[in-house]
């Protein structure tokens, strides 16, 4: 009951953030009111971090069984939720590349033979559960492969062009894409909707998965997601729903959406293309747009970013760790780690071919595990409305430094990042929680007054904890 009350209180307090950050950002216009809360995410997600597994590329074998020995290591890393990229069979018709895209599904209720068997996946889920991990399955509802049985059995379950041919998949803006290996499903067809939900239920009944990451979620009608959420909650009440979309309206059914806008901002901050003051403008927009209970998935890499836009080292350079610290400590954030980041994955993994991760790169496991451990242990950094209110901390650091604090009860965390090429002695003013702090990474003590100075290394960060 105390936790529920905290969530409600934080939802109310969060409204003050709109006013506070708006003033700091210099806005003279009243912010629109954020949408009302919809539902609260499962309690097991309140301090969780998520990890994306690219099954094909994770091990030399590229199988589900080969993933099982990695589960204890992921748990030691501090991971709570593993998101497994699609494991279903990949279509052959119009296949891209030799092996095809995992997002071209030819059967929703089977397992890709190249990855293993249903028994292998059940063993993986069971092993993860024994280690205290939850398993979220990647789900591809927007489209199927062109050799999915529905193509011939139920052609009316697909969207057709004017000439009668089945359309390629459309994107979130409803434009037909060049994804020529997948066919657009027709959500105006009630029978197709029922079949989709039944296939999703299979993975709850047979495999006991803990949720779904829903691909191109914005391309599917929101009323379908409400229906699916309602029906599947009767099977498993504490399912976790992640939408590959950035749409506040989806929180009627989803717990978390992608933080693409913040990710792109991080890239540009790291590259020196935008000032850190743009973070405040971003926060104003988020507080005014998203419900208080919303989780945002913040990241420095994922399978799309890595394959198509480059590794975090390409996009963020020496600032990749500072960027991750921000992504893990910002309000509402659930941080994501992608396959191989903990081993400094320096290559773009090929999407349609076998391209095994090089696990021999310099280890960043200690950095990531230390960052995630702080989220676990300090309630100020918990996810969504469970976490503390974020307050801008005024400094003289200029447009390459950003500082803020978050407080929940007796917990306060102060975060300072420096995207610049030189170390900075940063003067701050009007800090609302002075006292004795511990540097989370250096394990040293620091005293913070209402006004004071903090040394922040180049391309670095200081995280001070009380």
Helix (H) / strand (E) element for 20: namely helix 2-25
pTM above 0.85, yes or no: yes
Q: Which two tokens stand for residue 44?
A: 């097991």
Contact criterion met (CB below 8 Å) for 253 and 229: yes
pLDDT at 400 over 90: yes
> C-alpha angle 10/16/21, rounded to 5°?
120
End-to-end Cα distance, the chain: 25
Beta pairing class for 411-418 and 401-408 = antiparallel
Q: What is the DSSP string of 375-421?
A: HHH-GGG-SGGGSPEEEE-EES-GGGEEEEEEEETTEEEEEEEE-SS
- 119-141 mean pLDDT: 98
The domain limits of the chain are 2-388
pLDDT at 107 over 50: yes
Write out pLDDT tens, residues 410-465.
999 999 999 999 999 999 999 999 999 999 999 999 999 999 999 999 999 999 99
Scanning 107-189, the segments in alpha helix (DSSP H) are 118-130, 150-153
Q: Which one has a higher pLDDT value, 76 or 35? A: 76
Q: Which CA distances in Å does 461 have to 49, 232, 444, 457?
A: 20, 42, 14, 7
Q: Which two tokens stand for residue 272?
A: 């020196």
Mean pLDDT lowest among 140-154, 165-179, 211-225, 360-374: 165-179
pLDDT at 262 over 80: yes
Beta pairing class for 333-338 and 295-299 = parallel
- 228-251 mean pLDDT: 97
Give the residue from 338, 398, 395, 405 showing the smallest Cα distance to 368.
338
- 359-380 mean pLDDT: 98
What is the band of 153 on the pLDDT scale with cuts at 50, 70, 90? very high
User: What is the model's pLDDT at position 5?
Assistant: 46
User: What is the model's pLDDT at position 292?
Assistant: 84
User: What is the model's pLDDT at position 2?
Assistant: 42
Q: Which two tokens stand for residue 361?
A: 């790169």
Sign of CA dihedral 274, 20, 245, 263: positive
Contact criterion met (CB below 8 Å) for 74 and 51: yes
Q: Which one has a higher pLDDT value, 14 or 154? A: 154
CA 449/CA 464 separation, integer angstroms: 13
pLDDT at 14 over 90: no
Write out pLDDT tens, residues 324-357.
999 999 999 999 999 999 999 999 999 999 999 9
Superfamily of domain 2-388 in CATH is Glycosidases (3.20.20.80)
The rounded radius of gyration (Å) of the Cα atoms in the chain is: 22
The SS3 assignment for 334 reads: strand
Q: What backbone torsions phi and psi does residue 352 show, to the nearest 5 degrees? A: -110, 5
User: What is the model's pLDDT at position 39?
Assistant: 73
pLDDT at 30 over 60: no
- In the chain, count of helices (H) and strands (E)? 13, 19
Contact criterion met (CB below 8 Å) for 306 and 349: yes
The SS3 assignment for 84 reads: strand
CA 299/CA 276 separation, integer angstroms: 17
Q: In sequence order, what E strands does 220-360 have?
A: 240-243, 256-258, 295-299, 333-338
Contact criterion met (CB below 8 Å) for 169 and 179: yes
pLDDT at 241 over 70: yes
User: What is the model's pLDDT at position 8?
Assistant: 44
Question: What's the order of all strands across the beta sheet hosting 435-439?
Answer: 389-392, 401-408, 411-418, 460-465, 435-439, 445-448
pLDDT at 78 over 50: yes
Share above pLDDT 90 across residues of the chain, in percent, rounded to a whole number: 90
Average pLDDT of the chain, as a whole number: 93
Q: Which one has a higher pLDDT value, 173 or 464? A: 464
User: What is the model's pLDDT at position 40?
Assistant: 87
Write out pLDDT tens, residues 283-297.
999 999 999 889 999
Q: Is 363 left (phi over 0), alpha (psi -120 to 50) or beta?
A: beta
């Amino acid at each position: 009951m105390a936790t529920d009350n905290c969530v409600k209180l934080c939802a109310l307090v969060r409204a003050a953030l709109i006013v506070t950050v708006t003033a700091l950002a210099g806005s003279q216009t009243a912010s629109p009111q954020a949408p009302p809360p919809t539902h609260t995410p499962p309690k097991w997600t309140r301090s969780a971090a998520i990890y994306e597994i690219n099954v094909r590329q994770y091990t030399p074998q590229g199988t589900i069984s080969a993933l099982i020995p990695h589960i204890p290591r992921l748990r030691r890393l501090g991971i709570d939720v593993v998101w497994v990229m699609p494991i279903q069979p990949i279509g052959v018709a119009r296949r891209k590349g030799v092996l095809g895209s995992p997002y071209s599904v030819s059967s929703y209720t089977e397992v890709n033979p190249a990855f293993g068997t249903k028994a292998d996946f059940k063993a993986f889920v069971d092993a993860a559960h024994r280690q205290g991990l939850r398993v979220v399955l990647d789900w591809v509802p927007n489209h199927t492969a062109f050799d999915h049985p529905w193509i011939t059995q139920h052609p009316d379950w697909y969207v057709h062009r004017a000439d009668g041919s089945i359309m390629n998949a459309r994107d979130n803006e409803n434009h037909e894409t060049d994804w020529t290996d997948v066919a657009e499903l027709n959500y105006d067809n009630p029978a197709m909707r029922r079949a989709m939900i039944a296939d999703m239920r299979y993975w709850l009944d047979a495999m006991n998965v803990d949720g779904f990451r829903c691909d191109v979620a914005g391309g599917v009608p929101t009323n379908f997601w409400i229906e699916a959420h309602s029906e599947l909650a009767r099977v498993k009440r504490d399912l976790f729903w992640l939408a590959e979309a950035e749409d506040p309206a989806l929180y009627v059914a989803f717990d978390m959406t992608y933080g693409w806008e913040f990710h792109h901002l991080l890239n540009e901050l790291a590259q020196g293309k935008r000032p850190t003051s743009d973070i405040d403008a971003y926060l104003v927009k988020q507080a005014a747009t998203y419900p208080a209970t919303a989780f945002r998935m913040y990241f420095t890499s994922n399978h799309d970013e890595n394959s198509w836009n480059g590794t975090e080292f390409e996009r963020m350079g020496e600032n990749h760790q500072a960027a991750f610290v921000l992504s893990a400590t910002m309000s509402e954030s659930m941080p994501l780690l992608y396959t191989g980041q903990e081993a400094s994955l320096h290559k773009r993994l090929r999407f349609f071919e076998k391209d095994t991760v090089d696990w021999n790169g310099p280890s960043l496991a200690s950095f990531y595990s230390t960052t995630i451990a702080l989220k676990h242990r300090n309630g100020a950094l918990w996810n969504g409305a469970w976490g503390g209110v974020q307050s801008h901390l005024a400094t003289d650091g200029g447009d390459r430094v950003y500082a803020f604090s978050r407080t929940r009860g007796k917990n306060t965390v102060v975060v300072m990042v420096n995207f610049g090429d030189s170390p900075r002695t940063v003067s701050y003013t009007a800090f609302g929680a002075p006292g004795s702090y511990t540097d989370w990474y250096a394990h040293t003590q620091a005293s913070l007054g209402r006004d004071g100075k903090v040394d922040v290394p180049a391309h670095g960060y200081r995280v001070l904890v009380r």
